[in-house]
Structures are given as structure tokens and as C-alpha cells.
């Protein structure tokens, strides 16, 4: 069975975009792959954030993984910072990575522009991500399109190391979600729905109350026409709502267009709100059950033990190849 590994950062309550674009995909893939899912908390400290509550956010993200259907029997679930070999491997890889290639990464260029005092961690972020992936001989890495370049540099680092020191790493492939499932901001439908958005009215969070979700969807930006038709260029708002309806119900765009052929936007929005509220209320119920149970600690203890042994073996192999004293 091929091995899959992916992680999300515990930077806040996840959005409907993260759910549809990342977590729902992981739930589908867990039957096809031997799967490793983690909380990328070391990545969450690469940009300063005074409101980052790592402990609570990490526990909350694990509870959400479980509530969304990530099965602890089919997945190894762990927290990045609880496995010291990630940072250890990252250093060894950093000394085989060039400043030039890191400074050319899209995410680094974008995020470093926002402040004139960014950290070195923001620059070396992709190397830590490479360590996460390469420590486990990962075959595929499911991520959104924004993370594709980081999987590509992981491949470059692995190939370069293998050429220099002999075959040590498996070279992974990115697995990119379909563009159709990119969920846009409800108020600015040409912009990605994002955890860190300033205007929360455009973003649905998985733990939002039912009435808040309904209000946000009913107020979503549309257009001056009246037809429920998929046309992302001219009707980005309605197309985004069609995508949301499709991602939740697994109905095709054509099926949705014909279901709502005679409906006005108000009726369609109400139907979208109904399916989102229904799906999220089941997740929310399970979330609170998991959050308050001991299961999370049991799962994380197992994940920590198992992944430490695996990552240590890889770090030892790398150190041997590089000629360290042992």
C-alpha cells in the first residue's frame, strides 16, 4: 500500500474551505493509502501571531480531524512538535539546501513582503516541510495548489541528497485537489476563503453556530441576474455557492443547475445553507464529544511513539550517509 502524509497548521478554527479542500479529501484517501496525518504546529510559529494558542488549537484540530471522519484506526495521527526528529532532520536538510532556492519560493516572497522583520523560520519553512515528508518515505502528499511548490522543492532536496550520498529518500508526488473544490470568500468571491481573512462574514468556520452560517450564506455576494448557473468568470458568487453545494452533496454542477432551474437566488441560498448546516451540525456534535474525551491523548501518545521510531531511523540513516560520528 502506498503511503500518504499531510498536515494542517493549528492557526485557528478551520474553514469550510479547509474542510472541502483538504480534510474531506483525506477522509476519501484514508482507504486507499497507509495514511499519516499531523498537526503542523512548528510551521504555525513561522509568522508572529500574538493570539496563537497552540495548546488549545492543536487539541481542537485533532478533535476536528476525528469529527470530520479521519479514522484513528486507519491513520497515524500525531503532533509535529512532539516528534523532535522533524526539526533534527530539517537542520541536516537545510545544510543541503540553497538560500537562493528558498528565497524564490512564492509563499516566502508573499509573506515576507508583509513585514520588514520576518523570521529566518519563514525562509526555512519549506525545508521543515521536506523533513516532515521525507522522514517517512512518503509516496503522496495531498495539498492545495498553494502548497505545490513546497512539495516540488521537497522532491529537489530528496533527489539532490540521493545523488550526493546514495539512495536515502523516497521522492514524493504532490496530490492536488481539483480546482473545482477551491472555496471562495462569500463576500469577495474572487478571493480564497481563508482562516486568516480579516472580514469573518465571508468565511464559514466549522464551529460557527447554525444561525451564523445561515446569515453568512444568505448575505453572500451574488450578481444582478437571477439564474442559478455555473460561470466562475461572470458569476463568481453563484458559482462558489454551486461548488459548496456540490462538495457537500456530491451532486454534479449540471445536476444542481437543473435542480434550481426555476429557483431564485434566495431559494437557492436557503438550500445551500440547509445542506451546510446539516453537514456541519453533525461534525460539531462529534467535535465536542471528542474534545472532552481521553481518546485524543491516547491517539497522540500512540502516534508519537510510532512516528518517533520511524523518523529516528531515517535521521540515523542520513547521519550515517553524511559521515557523522556514531
Active-site positions?
A: 111, 192, 195
Q: Give which of ligand LTN, ligand ATP, none residue 196 binds (C-beta under 5 to 8 Å, depending on kind).
A: ligand ATP
Nearer to ligand ATP, 164 or 178 (CB): 178
Of 63, 131, 134, 143, the residue at the interface with ligand ATP (CB under 6 A) is: 143
Binding-site string for ligand ATP from residue 86 to residue 125, where x marks contact by CB under 6 A and - marks none: ----------------------------------------
Q: Quick one: cell of 217?
A: 450564506
Nearest residue to the partner ligand ATP, using Cβ: 144
CB 71 within 8 A of CB 40: no
Q: Give CA–CA dist 247/20, Å, rounded.
A: 7
Name which of residues 164 to 203 contact ligand ATP (CB under 6 A): 181-183, 192-196
Q: Give which of ligand ATP, ligand LTN, none residue 26 binds (C-beta under 5 to 8 Å, depending on kind).
A: none
Q: Does 18 bind ligand ATP (CB under 6 A)?
A: yes
Question: How many residues does this entry show for the chain?
Answer: 326
Q: Does 263 bind ligand ATP (CB under 6 A)?
A: no
Give me the DSSP letters along 195-253.
TT-S-GGG--BTT--HHHHHHHHHT----SS------TTT-HHHHHHHHHHHHHH---H
CB of 223 to ligand LTN, least distance (A): 31
Q: Does 239 bind ligand ATP (CB under 6 A)?
A: no
- For the four alpha carbons of 249, 242, 187 and 262, in that order, the dihedral sign comes to negative
CB 44 within 8 A of CB 52: yes
Nearer to ligand ATP, 9 or 88 (CB): 9
Q: Does 60 bind ligand ATP (CB under 6 A)?
A: no
CB of 294 to ligand ATP, least distance (A): 27
Q: Quick one: cell of 203?
A: 468565511
Q: Give CA–CA dist 202/191, Å, rounded.
A: 10
Q: Give CA–CA dist 17/132, Å, rounded.
A: 23
Of 4, 17, 60, 108, the residue at the interface with ligand ATP (CB under 6 A) is: 17
Amino acid at each position: 500500500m502506498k503511503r500518504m502524509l499531510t498536515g494542517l497548521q493549528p492557526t485557528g478554527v478551520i474553514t469550510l474551505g479547509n474542510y472541502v479542500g483538504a480534510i474531506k479529501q483525506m477522509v476519501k484517501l484514508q482507504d486507499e493509502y497507509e495514511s499519516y496525518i499531523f498537526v503542523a504546529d512548528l510551521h504555525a510559529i513561522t509568522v508572529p501571531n500574538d493570539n496563537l494558542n497552540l495548546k488549545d488549537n492543536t487539541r481542537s484540530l485533532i478533535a476536528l480531524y476525528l469529527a470530520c471522519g479521519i479514522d484513528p484506526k486507519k491513520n497515524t495521527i500525531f503532533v509535529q512538535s512532539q516528534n523532535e526528529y522533524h526539526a533534527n532532520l530539517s537542520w541536516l536538510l537545510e545544510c543541503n539546501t540553497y538560500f537562493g532556492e528558498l528565497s524564490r519560493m512564492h509563499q516566502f516572497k508573499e509573506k515576507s513582503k508583509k513585514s520588514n522583520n520576518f523570521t529566518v523560520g519563514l525562509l526555512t519553512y519549506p525545508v521543515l516541510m521536506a523533513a516532515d515528508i521525507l522522514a517517512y518515505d512518503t509516496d503522496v502528499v495531498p495539498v492545495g495548489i498553494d502548497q505545490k511548490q513546497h512539495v516540488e522543492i521537497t522532491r529537489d532536496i530528496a533527489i539532490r541528497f540521493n545523488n550526493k550520498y546514495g539512495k536515502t529518500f523516497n521522492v514524493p508526488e504532490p496530490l492536488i485537489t481539483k480546482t473545482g473544490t477551491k472555496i471562495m470568500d462569500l463576500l469577495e468571491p474572487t478571493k480564497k476563503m481563508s482562516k486568516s481573512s480579516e472580514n469573518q462574514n465571508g468565511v464559514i468556520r466549522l464551529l460557527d453556530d447554525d444561525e451564523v452560517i445561515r446569515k453568512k450564506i444568505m448575505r453572500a455576494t451574488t450578481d444582478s441576474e437571477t439564474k442559478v448557473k455555473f460561470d466562475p468568470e461572470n458569476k463568481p458568487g453563484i458559482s462558489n455557492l454551486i461548488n459548496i453545494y456540490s462538495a457537500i452533496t456530491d451532486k454534479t454542477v449540471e445536476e444542481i443547475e437543473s435542480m434550481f432551474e426555476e429557483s431564485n437566488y434566495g431559494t437557492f441560498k436557503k438550500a445551500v445553507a440547509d445542506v451546510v448546516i446539516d453537514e456541519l451540525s453533525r461534525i460539531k456534535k462529534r467535535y465536542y464529544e471528542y474534545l472532552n474525551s481521553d481518546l485524543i491523548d491516547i491517539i497522540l501518545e500512540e502516534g508519537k511513539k510510532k512516528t518517533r521510531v520511524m523518523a529516528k531511523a531515517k535521521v540515523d540513516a542520513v547521519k550515517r550517509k553524511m559521515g557523522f560520528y556514531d
